[in-house]
Amino acid sequence: MSTTRSLRRSDPPAEAVREVLKNLPKVARLDMRGGSTHYVLVLGSPWDDLVGIDLASGSLIRLRVPWTEANPPDLSAFDVVEATLAADPETDDLAHPEAATVSHLPRLIGSLRGRAVKHLLTRVQAPLDGPLLGFRGPSAPFWEFDGTRPSTALVVPTRGPQLLRRHEDLSTWVRFGWERDDVWLRCEDREASRALDAARRELLSGKELATALGFKPAFLLASLSRPYDGHCYKICVGLLPRA
C-alpha cells in the first residue's frame, strides 16, 4: 500500500503547515548537504522527480524520489511535504543543478493556499528575458550543460495554454506562447491527461480547459528531462492555478 496514499486519506489540518512555516528558519541559499531536511511546496510530481519550492530558502528544488508501482507519485499542487536528502544527494548533475536525491519517500504535512502561495510563486516566476530554460529548441545534448542554466521554470504563458492529444502515440502536449515563441511541450501532468480523457477531446483551451481541469491554468511548470539518447528534453510537469 502506498505510504503517500494512506496519508492522503487522512490529511493533517492546515495548522500543521502553519506550524512548520512559523518555526522554519529562513536561509539565503538552498541547503543541499547530505542528510538535510527540507519542507517543500509541491508544484509538480511526475515519475522522474518532485519539483517544488524549498520553503526555507524560497528556491526551486528537484527531489529525486524512489517512486515505485506500489508507491506511485500522487501528490497534488500546493501540498507541503517533508523530505530528507540522502547521505550522498548526488548534486553534481550539470543538467539539473537544482536536483538532489532523497533518502526515502517524502512525508505529507498538509497543503498551503492563499497569499502565502501567491507570494512564493511570484518570487520564482521565470522572467521573459530569453529562451525557455536558457536555450532554443525542444532539446539539447547533455554534454552542453555546465550547471549555469536552470532545469526547471515556473512560466506565466503570454498566450494560451492549449492541451492537445497527439494521434501518433496518444501523448499529451501543451502549447503556449512564451514572448515571441510558440512553445510545444510534452505534458507529464497526470491530471491534465485525465482531463483530456474525461472530456473525450483531442484539444482543450480557454473555458473548456478550465472546466476540464477545475481551475484556470495561470502557471506552467517546465522542466528538463533526464537524458534520453544523449539529449535532455523540455517537458511540462504541471499546470497550476493562481493559488
Q: Note the pLDDT of residue 243.
A: 77
The residues near 202 (Cβ < 8 Å, ≥ 6 apart) are: 164, 165, 167, 196
For the cut 50, the answer to whether the pLDDT of residue 11 exceeds it is no
Given CA atoms 184, 190, 192, 194 in this order, what sign does their dihedral have? positive
Report the C-alpha gap between 1 and 151 in whole angstroms: 32
| Tens of pLDDT, residues 119-132 | 999 999 999 888 99
Q: Note the pLDDT of residue 13.
A: 54
Report the chain's terminal Cα–Cα distance, integer Å: 31
Report the C-alpha gap between 232 and 146 in whole angstroms: 13
| Tens of pLDDT, residues 15-50 | 888 888 888 888 889 999 999 999 999 999 998 899
Which residues partner with 50 through β-bridges? 63
> What 3-state DSSP class applies to 139?
strand
For the cut 80, the answer to whether the pLDDT of residue 63 exceeds it is yes
| Residue 56: other Cβ atoms inside 10 A | 20
For the cut 50, the answer to whether the pLDDT of residue 3 exceeds it is no
The cell numbers describing 104, all together, are 526515502
Q: How many CA atoms lie within 13 A of 53 on its CB side?
A: 25
Can you tell me the mean pLDDT for 155-173?
94
Report the C-alpha gap between 43 and 207 in whole angstroms: 23
The DSSP code for 188 is: -
Question: pLDDT band for position 99 (50/70/90)?
Answer: very high
Question: pLDDT band for position 232 (50/70/90)?
Answer: very high
What is the residue extent of each domain of the chain?
3-114, 125-240
Question: pLDDT band for position 7 (50/70/90)?
Answer: very low
Mean pLDDT of the chain: 91
The architecture CATH gives domain 3-114:
Beta Barrel (2.40)
Can you tell me the mean pLDDT for 169-193?
94
Of 220, 222, 211, nearest in space to 161 by CA: 220
| Tens of pLDDT, residues 186-227 | 999 999 999 999 999 999 999 999 999 999 999 999 999 999
| Tens of pLDDT, residues 66-85 | 998 888 998 999 999 999 99
Can you tell me the mean pLDDT for 149-169?
94
Q: Give the Å distances, CA to CA, from 64 to 31, 44, 52, 54, 55.
A: 15, 12, 12, 14, 17
